[in-house]
Amino acid sequence: MRLLTERVAETASTLWTDEDTVEIRISAERVVEVLRTLRDDEDLDFWMLADAAAVDYGPTEHFEVVYHLYSDRHPAWLRVRAKVDRADPRIPTITPLWEGAMFHEREMYDMMGIVFEGNPDLRRIYMSPDYRSFPQRRDFLLPDDAADSPAAGINPLERPETWDLTRFAALGPLNPLAAAGALPEADAVVADPAGEQPEPSTVEAGVTDADKSRPR
Amino acid sequence: MTATEPREGRVRDPIDLDAAEEARLRTAAGMIPAPIASPGGEYFGFDTVSIPDRPPQTERERELYTLGEGEMLVNMGPQHPSTHGVMRLVLKVRSEVVTDLDVVLGYLHRGIEKLSENATYTTVLTYVDPMDYMSAMHNEHAPALAFEKLYGIEAPPRAQYIRALVVELNRVFSHGLMMGFLALDIGALTPILYGFINRDEVVEMLAAISGQRMLFNFFRVGGVNWDVNDEFLSRLGAWHAKELRNVKDNEALLTGNEIFRARTRKMGVISRQQAINLGVTGPNLRASGVPFDVRSAHPYPPYHELEFTPIVQEHGDVYDRYLQRIAEIKQSMHLIEQIMDKMPHGPVQAQVPGIIRPKPGRAYAAIESPRGLYSVYAISDGGPTPYRFRMRDPSFVSLQVMPVLMPGHLIADTMAIMASLDPIMGGVDK
């Protein structure tokens, strides 16, 4: 504990949370430097990255990236909390320190939209590559409660009437919508010279009355 | 009807189109106009479809999907019998040797972390059950510990011992199945049948104590749902008297088997340093020689009262990871005997209200699941639901070794190496 305060003293407040976790808070820019010290210092020797996770404190607050480290020499888990600006969520990558942080960082990018600068493979990991939203942010609403919220329908993916079905038509016979007869023939869509949207009647085939009455 | 004509009543497949029409269709769909041409020549028409159907997003992806001389991409999954759930591997191969590999996840993603932010603390324990469905008891253990830490209570001693008993039983059948799956992926059918006989006996036993066979929903914040009952104890006694007969049968079939050894030894070697660097935990880490086990490194009750030393292997190859599982099954049996000897009397559930509202705060709890370090980070804002609920699944992190291990191995060895890591996709995709 004393050692920890000495070695990463200039960072920020250090505090006990409970008997088996020590917590320190640092700024986002110093993440690599501090974690390198924690890992390589012979007296500290936090050799294992147990977890890396992101927390969203709401639209008016900030993100936080939280690392949990383990060392054989200390009885407690070490929690390192780094604050990330929500308007411009950027933080340096720690993949040079632990390659295993790659999937954690890809997940945080996918779910929260935090950009890890220097990460060579920052792709979405769970959602499809053309997904445009970050589902684990606090202001991303589940479909169940989207209709009741003041922010309903802000995300285009929650509004079926804005879907560009030509994208789906190109998937060919595997497309379940085509199999169900919900789509116009692909030829009709593609041959349209102006590239206009398909007929509204076909587009709204799957939209229920409840969806239409949702406030936008 | 020739192959190039569109089939009756179906949307035309892009493969059937000529180049100009395909370019127009692809442009309309927001893709790049033409597939990335393969310099390696024709492979039965496969070079007319590129994977993925869009420009690369990162340097690593560009490198992965750019084919060199004589290379081609082989897609394995998502519905492949050997991928242990729904996952996709894109293998870059030259003749039959894998040169690079991409792991594509997300086919089972249910957003359990997000759902848990809208569920009370007690119902979260039911959401995590289907995550890593081979070790549902472990899935409930870590959240229960984290929520108890948040709420400032501790389970009664008897509940802690019952918890340790059921998770060790769960570990035995999970490791037993891994032996079977490894053999199945190499091409031997029998071991998986023995593995499932063993699993059924344990699962029936756990059904007797919890009421369910697979997704037990047995843990509660502050204890467990039921005390041990007569049926559970009689099944446990009958199973214990057989002294792991099915596991030993498997061991006799596999451990000295010449074909099995030829397929697994010196295969997929993870060095000590690689394992630490890539975040590998659990039996896979210990098979590489690192004696890290959460049960001894950072013991949670009641493991500080049990006699226990982590087992390690030397080489870190597929065969060592298999041996590690057998050793841990026997170790778990030893732990079960200790638990039955030491189990105290008393209540199995602490007094907690129906809806728990912990004080604002944060808690981290980690346990040793059959696949490694499984941890939960929970934040409370004082309300009835967790503000943030984060799970670290060990097989999710362990899968990162695949692109590191595979180059140089044959396509058929992908199965063996993957099975030796024992990933469960329900846990990987959450």
What are the Cα distances from residue B193, in Å, to B159, B176, B245, B412? 33, 11, 13, 22
B11 and A102 within 8 Å at the Cβ level: the answer is no
Nearest to B282 by CA among B399, B185, B161: B399
A143 to chain B, any CB pair closer than 8 A? The answer is no
**Which of B52, B115, B429 is nearest residue A126 as measured by Cβ atoms?**
B429
CA dihedral A20, A26, A29, A32 (to 10 degrees): -30
For B409-429, write each residue's pLDDT tens digit. 888 888 888 889 888 888 898
Helix or strand or coil: residue B115? helix
Residue ranges, CATH 3.30.460.80, chain A: 2-117
Q: Which residues contact B260 (CB under 8 A, 6 or more apart)?
A: B183, B186, B188, B254
Query: Helical H runs in B66-189?
Result: 112-116, 121-127, 136-151, 157-186
Asked if pLDDT for residue B1 goes beyond 80, the answer is no
CATH code of residue B123:
1.10.645.10
For B299-356, write each residue's pLDDT tens digit. 888 898 888 889 999 888 999 999 999 999 999 999 999 999 999 998 999 888 888 8
* pLDDT mean over A96-124: 89
* Topology given in CATH for the domain delimited by A2-117: Beta Polymerase; domain 2 (3.30.460)
Q: Which residues contact B295 (CB under 8 A, 6 or more apart)?
A: B303, B308, B310, B367, B368
A127 and B106 within 8 Å at the Cβ level: the answer is yes
Closest Cα in chain A, distance from residue B332 (Å)? 23
A99 and B277 within 8 Å at the Cβ level: the answer is yes
Q: In a 10 Å sphere around its CB, with 0-12 CB exposed, 13-18 middle and 19+ buried, how is residue A104 labelled?
A: buried
The 8-class DSSP code of residue B215 comes to S
Q: Which residues of A touch B377 (CB under 8 A)?
A: 51, 53, 66, 68
* pLDDT mean over B29-58: 55
CA separation for the pair B428, B152 (Å, rounded): 30
A104 and B397 within 8 Å at the Cβ level: the answer is yes
Give percent of chain B with pLDDT exceeding 70. 88
B363 and A18 within 8 Å at the Cβ level: the answer is yes
- Residue B77 binned pLDDT confidence (cut-offs 50, 70, 90): confident
For B98-107, write each residue's pLDDT tens digit. 998 888 888 8
A72 and B297 within 8 Å at the Cβ level: the answer is yes
For B226-246, write each residue's pLDDT tens digit. 889 999 999 999 998 888 888
- Pairing outcome for strands A63-70 and A48-56: antiparallel
Asked if pLDDT for residue A63 goes beyond 70, the answer is yes
Residue B266 lies in domain: 112-429
According to the model, what pLDDT value does residue A120 have? 86
According to the model, what pLDDT value does residue B355 have? 85
Nearest to B386 by CA among B202, B203, B221, B181: B221
Q: What value does the mean pLDDT of chain B take?
A: 84
For B243-280, write each residue's pLDDT tens digit. 888 888 888 888 888 888 888 888 889 999 999 999 89
According to the model, what pLDDT value does residue B247 have? 85
**Which of A75, A79, A190 is nearest residue B28 as measured by Cβ atoms?**
A190
**B386: in domain:** yes
A66 and B12 within 8 Å at the Cβ level: the answer is no
Query: Helical H runs in A81-208?
Result: 101-112, 143-146, 165-169, 176-179, 186-191, 200-203
For B123-158, write each residue's pLDDT tens digit. 899 889 888 888 899 999 999 999 999 888 889 999
Structural domains in chain B (count): 1
Q: At what angle do helices B157-186 and B136-151 cross, to 10 degrees?
A: 150
Asked if pLDDT for residue B376 goes beyond 70, the answer is yes
What sign does the CA torsion over B302, B305, B308, B310 have?
Answer: positive
The nearest alpha carbon in chain B to A127 belongs to B106
**Which of B25, B278, B361 is nearest residue A99 as measured by Cβ atoms?**
B278
**B26: in domain:** no
Tell me the Cα Rg of chain A.
Answer: 24
According to the model, what pLDDT value does residue B34 have? 66
Instruction: Kindly report the pTM of this predicted structure.
Output: 0.77
Q: In a 10 Å sphere around its CB, with 0-12 CB exposed, 13-18 middle and 19+ buried, how is residue A18 labelled?
A: middle
Q: Which residues of A touch B149 (CB under 8 A)?
A: 18
Helix (H) or strand (E) holding B369: strand B361-369
**B5: in domain:** no
What are the Cα distances from residue B292, in Å, to B145, B168, B321, B377? 20, 18, 15, 20
In this structure, of A29-43, B49-63, B283-297, the range with the lowest mean pLDDT score is: B49-63
Helix (H) or strand (E) holding A82: strand A77-84
**Number of CB pairs, chain A paired with chain B, less than 8 A apart:** 134
What are the Cα distances from residue A207, in Å, to A145, A168, A185, B164, B358? 17, 17, 20, 50, 41
* pLDDT mean over A26-42: 86
A173 and B111 within 8 Å at the Cβ level: the answer is no
A166 to chain B, any CB pair closer than 8 A? The answer is yes
Copy the structure tokens of residue B201: 């006996």
Q: Which of residues 82-111 of A touch B (CB under 8 A)?
A: 98-104, 111
According to the model, what pLDDT value does residue A142 have? 65
Q: Which residues of A touch B279 (CB under 8 A)?
A: 48-49, 98-101
**Which of B61, B114, B375 is nearest residue A51 as measured by Cβ atoms?**
B375
Amino acid letter, residue B390: R
**B248: in domain:** yes
Q: Tokens 């976790």 belong to which residue?
A: A21
* pLDDT mean over B83-103: 85
Asked if pLDDT for residue A188 goes beyond 80, the answer is no
The nearest alpha carbon in chain A to B399 belongs to A103
The nearest alpha carbon in chain A to B16 belongs to A172
- Residue B389 binned pLDDT confidence (cut-offs 50, 70, 90): very high
Is the CB of residue B280 less than 8 Å from the CB of residue B397? yes
Asked if pLDDT for residue A169 goes beyond 50, the answer is no
According to the model, what pLDDT value does residue A18 have? 64
B114 and A136 within 8 Å at the Cβ level: the answer is yes
Give percent of chain B with pLDDT exceeding 90. 32
- Residue A92 binned pLDDT confidence (cut-offs 50, 70, 90): very high
The 8-class DSSP code of residue B376 comes to E
Closest Cα in chain B, distance from residue A157 (Å)? 16
Give percent of chain A with pLDDT exceeding 90. 14
Q: Which residues of B touch A124 (CB under 8 A)?
A: 106
